[in-house]
């Protein structure tokens, strides 16, 4: 039931309202400035205010500025006993939602109140929705920040080993991830994975997969066995409609060999010190996340002095420009060969710069991740 405060010293109008059937409307009355300020400061359920603009002692719409310690955010209707259009215009410019002229007919009064109240409810709903969206946006931004912080951001560059990785989600949160961590024998575990989909569901699934790799890798007999176990655990979680491609390798820096297995991920690219590049095939297997019954296999490659291994997700090569042309594997190969002598950090930055130059502001359609391991000597 909307409640209206009428600030006016016209007893005839007050009597009209008090003695009439106002339906669902309720009213409060203030005959002067002091009564109005007292009523506005005490009542918490005022929905609309009708204020005379003819009485200097009341002060018209300026009376709301005199309210101390409280801000009354309600629509205001200007009330006048004259036909002074200039005064009405000033009231509307000062924020009045509508106006009434005396003598006021009850039907006109109630119709005006209904219209103003309905308009106000629409605005209030819009404000509530905007506030809710702003809150959701803040939560999404925070979640995106947390997601970024769980990925390694400190990369080894010690002696012969140079590592760098970068990921750019298509939304606040993404399904791509990379990880690397030491194993008990001194080797380094490397994971690059791409969860199906984007946004919050992919981000949650990503966190699950990353945790499973971290829990499984230390005790697994090798990359293929690790993928088998991660897949078994994912199946046990029974999350329908989600799957993940993954490249998992174990780098031995004593002999600079990497043993690896590939769960449906695009092959990484081996960039030789002489500037040539080729995809690393082998270690093939099916994506993680469903019971396919196919065992994973593993292979091994060697990193010679000056070699780099570029591991990435398909969002990089499938990045579109405004005409829907993909960045493509060919462009990636050209970029890698042109920048083969650079550090892992510089190589990654240059690849992302090439991708951005290709897309030229087109909306990013998928998460993009790259991971570089380089052997200096």
* Residue range 235-269, pLDDT digits in tens: 888 778 888 999 999 999 999 999 999 999 999 99
Residues 185 and 310 in one domain: yes
Domain annotation covers residue 101: yes
Range of weakest confidence among 116-120, 129-133, 220-224, 249-253: 129-133
CB atoms under 10 Å from CB of 226, counted, come to 26
Looking at the chain, the number of H-run helices and the number of E-run strands are 9, 16
pLDDT band at residue 82 under the 50/70/90 scheme: confident
Residues 280 and 316 in one domain: yes
Residues 245 and 118 in one domain: no
- Please give the average per-residue pLDDT across 129-153, as a whole number: 70
Query: pTM of this prediction?
Result: 0.67
The Cβ-side half-sphere exposure at 129, using a 13 Å CA radius, reads 6
Domain annotation covers residue 38: yes
Domain annotation covers residue 206: yes
Task: List, as one string, the DSSP characters of 233-282.
Answer: HHHHH--TT--EEEEEEEEETTTTEEEEEEEBPPPPEEE-TTS-EEE---
Which pLDDT tens digit goes with each residue over 190-215? Answer: 999 998 877 778 888 888 889 999 99
Q: How far apart are CA 71 and CA 52, in angstroms?
A: 20
Domain annotation covers residue 144: no
**How would you classify the pairing of strands 188-195 and 244-252?**
antiparallel
Residues 238 and 272 in one domain: yes
Bridge partners (DSSP) of residue 28 are 5
pLDDT band at residue 230 under the 50/70/90 scheme: very high
Domain annotation covers residue 308: yes
- Please give the average per-residue pLDDT across 332-346, as a whole number: 93
Tell me the backbone φ, ψ of residue 256, rounded to 5 degrees: 55, 45
The Cβ-side half-sphere exposure at 263, using a 13 Å CA radius, reads 32
Residues 106 and 254 in one domain: no
Q: How far apart are CA 256 and CA 203, in angstroms?
A: 33
Domain annotation covers residue 143: no
Highest mean pLDDT among 123-127, 149-153, 193-197, 370-374: 370-374
Rg of the Cα atoms in the chain: 34
Domain annotation covers residue 135: no
Per-residue pLDDT at 141? 67
For the chain, the straight-line distance linking the first and the last C-alpha, in angstroms and rounded, comes to 80
Residues 204 and 321 in one domain: yes
Residue 349: give the domain boundaries. Answer: 153-375
Of residues 176, 183, 181, the one with CA closest to residue 163: 181
Residues 314 and 276 in one domain: yes
Residue 365 has pLDDT above 70, yes or no: yes
Task: List, as one string, the DSSP characters of 346-364.
Answer: HHHHHHHHHHHHHHTTPPP
- Higher pLDDT residue, 81 or 357? 357
- Please give the average per-residue pLDDT across 102-116, as a whole number: 85
- The CATH number for 91's domain is 3.40.50.2300
Cis status, amide bond into 103, omega within 30 of 0: yes
pLDDT band at residue 146 under the 50/70/90 scheme: low
Residues 84 and 225 in one domain: no
Residues 328 and 181 in one domain: yes
- Please give the average per-residue pLDDT across 126-139, as a whole number: 72
Q: Which stretches within 22-170 are classed as H helix?
A: 33-42, 85-93, 106-150
* Domain stops at, among 128, 145, 172: 128
Tokens of 179: 């990880």
Per-residue pLDDT at 52? 86
- The CATH number for 307's domain is 3.60.40.10
Residues 80 and 116 in one domain: yes
Residues 40 and 78 in one domain: yes
Residue 65 DSSP SS3: helix
Number of structural domains the chain divides into: 2
Residues 17 and 165 in one domain: no
Domain annotation covers residue 113: yes
Signed CA dihedral, 335, 340, 343, 344: sign only: positive
Residues in the chain, how many?
Answer: 377
Q: How far apart are CA 251 and CA 134, in angstroms?
A: 45
Q: How far apart are CA 44 and CA 66, in angstroms?
A: 17
Tell me the backbone φ, ψ of residue 340, rounded to 5 degrees: -65, -30
Cβ-contact 364, 170 below 8 angstroms: yes
């Amino acid at each position: 039931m909307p409640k209206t405060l009428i600030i006016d010293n016209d007893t005839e109008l007050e009597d009209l309202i008090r003695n009439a059937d106002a339906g669902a409307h309720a009213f409060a009355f203030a005959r002067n400035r002091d009564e109005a300020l007292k009523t506005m400061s005490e009542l918490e359920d005022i929905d609309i205010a009708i204020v005379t603009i003819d009485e200097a002692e009341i002060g018209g719409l300026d009376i709301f500025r005199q309210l101390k310690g409280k801000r009354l955010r309600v629509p205001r209707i200007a009330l006048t006993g004259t036909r002074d259009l200039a005064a009405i215009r000033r009231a509307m410019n000062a924020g009045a939602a509508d106006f009434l002229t005396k003598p006021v007919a009850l039907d006109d009064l109630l119709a005006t109140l209904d219209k103003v109240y309905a308009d106000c409810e629409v605005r209030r709903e819009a404000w509530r929705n905007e506030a809710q969206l702003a809150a959701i946006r803040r939560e999404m931004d925070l979640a995106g920040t947390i997601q970024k912080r769980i990925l390694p951001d400190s990369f080894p560059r010690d002696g012969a080993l140079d590592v760098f990785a970068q990921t750019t989600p298509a939304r606040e949160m993404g399904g791509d991830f990379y990880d690397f961590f030491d194993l008990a024998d001194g080797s380094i575990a490397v994971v690059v994975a791409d969860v199906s989909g984007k946004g919050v569901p992919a981000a949650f699934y990503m966190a699950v997969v990353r945790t499973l790799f971290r829990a499984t890798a230390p005790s697994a007999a090798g990359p293929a066995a690790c993928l088998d176990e991660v897949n078994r655990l994912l199946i046990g979680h029974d999350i329908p409609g989600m799957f993940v491609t993954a490249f998992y390798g174990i780098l031995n820096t004593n002999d600079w060999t990497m043993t690896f297995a590939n769960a449906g991920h695009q092959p990484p690219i081996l960039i030789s010190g002489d500037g040539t590049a080729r995809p690393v095939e082998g270690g093939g297997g099916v994506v993680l996340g469903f019971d396919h019954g196919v065992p994973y296999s593993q292979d091994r490659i060697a990193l010679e002095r000056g070699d780099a291994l570029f591991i990435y997700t398909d969002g990089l090569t499938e990045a579109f420009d405004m005409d829907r042309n993909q960045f493509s594997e060919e462009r990636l190969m050209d970029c890698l060969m042109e920048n083969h002598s650079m550090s892992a950090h510089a190589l990654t930055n240059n690849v992302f710069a090439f991708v951005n130059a290709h897309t030229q502001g087109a909306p990013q359609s998928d998460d993009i991740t790259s991971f570089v391991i380089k052997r200096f000597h």
